[in-house]
């Protein structure tokens, strides 16, 4: 009974790797560990895409540089069909571009093929429990990538200079006819500006727009 329970608890994995020697080594690593059960081993993406969806697995180790369809595209196609499966990319390249493409495709981790067997097994366990295993260098690149992303513009920053002029007039309490005269614009143009202001600020009335304008972060005190 204990053996049956242990087998049920084993993490079920599959390999997609075109290099026979590497595939054999990985097979040996998983088969000698009682915490894992190797469910399948495939030499290319085409075979994996046919067979994996019918295979009960928890995690897939995916080579990036596969013949024909590459590993990133293979994950992109399989992830929607296997949303609960953890895909971990294996590669010889410590390449930020490949890393981001893999993550965007649905991969949960990114490891180098020179990773030691113990670290590899630990990484699969980590992915199985919801983690995102990758080398420290890759983790730093991910962090830097998100740090360097441009900050989204605030709602107020999306307004054009003329739309801000209209909003300032609204905040000062001028009526529409007065705003038209003050800014020397037509009724149709004013309505267009106001419509744009409402849309960009996600409001539905003059009062809401004015409140957002008066409470904008950059407003000087007093």
Give domain status of residue 222, yes or no.
no
| CA 80 to each of CA 12, 38, 45, 85, 122: distance values in angstroms, whole numbers, following the listed order | 19, 22, 15, 10, 26
Angle at 155 between CA 218 and CA 174, to 5 degrees: 75
Q: Which of 119, 148, 177 is the last residue of a domain?
A: 148
Based on the domain organization, do 121 and 177 belong to the same domain?
A: no
Q: What separation, in Å, do the N-terminal and C-terminal C-alpha atoms of the chain show?
A: 76
Domain containing 22 — which CATH number? 3.40.50.2300
pLDDT confidence of residue 126: 87
Model-level pTM? 0.62
Among residues 113, 148, 183, the one where a domain terminates is 148
Q: What is the average pLDDT across 123-144?
A: 79
Whether the pLDDT of residue 4 is over 60: the answer is: no
What is the CATH number for 191? 1.10.10.10
Q: Are residues 15 and 97 both part of a single domain? A: yes
Residues of the domain holding 174: 156-214
109 with 161, same domain: the answer is no
- Indicate the length of the chain as a whole number: 222
Report the C-alpha gap between 88 and 62 in whole angstroms.
6
- φ/ψ of 172, rounded to 5, equals -85, -5
The number of folded domains in the chain is: 2
Both 126 and 171 in a single domain? no
pLDDT in tens, 61-102: 999 999 999 999 999 999 999 998 999 998 887 777 778 888
Same-domain check for residues 165 and 144:
no
Asked if 144 and 169 sit in the same domain, the reply is no
Same-domain pairing of 166 and 71: no
- Are 110 and 179 members of one domain? no
pLDDT tens column, 38-57 = 999 999 999 999 999 999 99
Residue 152 is predicted with a pLDDT of 59
């Amino acid at each position: 009974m204990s053996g049956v329970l242990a087998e049920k608890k084993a993490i079920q994995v599959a390999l997609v790797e075109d290099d026979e020697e590497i595939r054999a080594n990985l097979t040996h690593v998983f088969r000698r560990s009682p915490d894992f059960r190797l469910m399948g081993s495939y030499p290319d993406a085409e075979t994996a895409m046919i067979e994996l969806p019918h295979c009960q697995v928890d995690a897939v180790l995916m080579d990036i540089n596969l013949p024909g369809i590459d590993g990133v595209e293979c994950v992109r196609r399989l992830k929607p069909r296997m949303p609960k499966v953890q895909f971990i990319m294996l590669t010889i390249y410590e390449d930020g571009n490949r890393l981001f493409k893999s993550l965007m495709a649905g991969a949960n981790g990114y490891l180098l093929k020179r990773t030691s067997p113990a670290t590899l097994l630990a990484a699969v366990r980590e992915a199985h429990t919801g983690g995102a295993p990758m080398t420290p260098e890759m983790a730093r690149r991910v962090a830097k990538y998100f740090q360097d992303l441009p900050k989204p513009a605030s709602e107020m920053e999306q307004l054009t200079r003329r739309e801000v002029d209209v909003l300032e007039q609204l905040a000062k309490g001028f009526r529409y006819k007065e705003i038209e005269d003050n800014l020397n614009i037509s009724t149709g143009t004013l309505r267009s500006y106001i419509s744009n202001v409402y849309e960009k600020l996600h409001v539905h009335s003059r009062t809401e727009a004015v409140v957002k304008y008066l409470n904008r972060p950059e407003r000087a005190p007093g």
